[in-house]
Chains A and B, each alone.
Chain A
């Protein structure tokens, strides 16, 4: 069965960097677009970034553009997001999610359990 498992969350000081990872299994990872989505405590869902199946295209939400970088390693079935210049408002649970398709988007059909990032001094 499809499994997505995020890791790398924790407490980080404002201005510092952090890299989250998402380990994928149970499907052909290299065939699907992948996303990062976050949810601040008590708030709604915020889409952050997408990377196409082959890594050829990447797109970002306005709030993280220029600070976050999405990447993937299809040989290791891994998705990443490198987060820099972190702010208090980046505090959230971060989810990786699989798209139903390899390019563009048609719904996120599998999600990880999420990893909590807390930005605080």
Chain B
């Protein structure tokens, strides 16, 4: 198994802020890293796949980077609808493990 560790676990920020969430894999996963956004009571939504590819329909203020073991999700200018929980997930090998999540709330 490949444990995924996100940091921070929670984050308070303001509209307009630039926010970065990090994800670390316990071993190299190349660029097989995905990011999801989940709002309360809703299904997750794919934001970024293959570490840096923006999913269709996702605003360009979201971006991803990294390879190997260290990855980041950046939101360039927070919008009110971005307050949610974010998860990373590796798709390098089964089981396709998720990070524990980062809850982003309003400061």
Given contacts A44-B87, A45-B87, A47-B89, contact A108 B98 (CB under 8 A): no
- A45–B36 alpha-carbon span in the complex (Å): 10
Choose one: B43, B55, B100; the contact of A112 (CB below 8 Å): B43
If over half of B's interface residues share one DSSP class (helix, strand or loop), that class is named, otherwise mixed; here it is loop
Which of A95, A108, A111 gathers most chain B CB within 10 Å? A108
- Chain B, interface size category, equals 20 to 34
- A106–B35 alpha-carbon span in the complex (Å): 11
Chain A-chain B contacts (Cβ-Cβ < 8 Å), number = 64
Q: Are A109 and B98 in contact (CB under 8 A)?
A: no
Q: Which residue of A lies closest to B57 (CB)?
A: A109
Interface-lining segment among B16-24, B44-52, B76-84 = B44-52
Q: Are B44 and A111 in contact (CB under 8 A)?
A: yes
Choose one: A44, A47, A114; the contact of B96 (CB below 8 Å): A47
- Could you tell me the distance in whole angstroms from the C-beta of B57 to the nearest C-beta in chain A? 10
- Chain A, interface size category, equals 20 to 34
- A107–B97 alpha-carbon span in the complex (Å): 12
Q: Are A113 and B98 in contact (CB under 8 A)?
A: no
- Check: A50 CB closer than 8 A to any chain B CB: yes
Query: Could you pull out 9 A-B pairs where Cβ atoms are within 8 angstroms?
Result: A44-B101, A45-B44, A59-B95, A105-B96, A107-B46, A107-B91, A108-B44, A113-B43, A114-B43
Among all A-B residue pairs, the 6 with the closest Cβ atoms? A107-B49, A111-B43, A105-B91, A59-B94, A107-B34, A61-B95
Contacts from B to A (Cβ < 8 Å): 1, 32, 34, 36, 38, 43-46, 49-50, 55, 87, 89, 91, 94-101
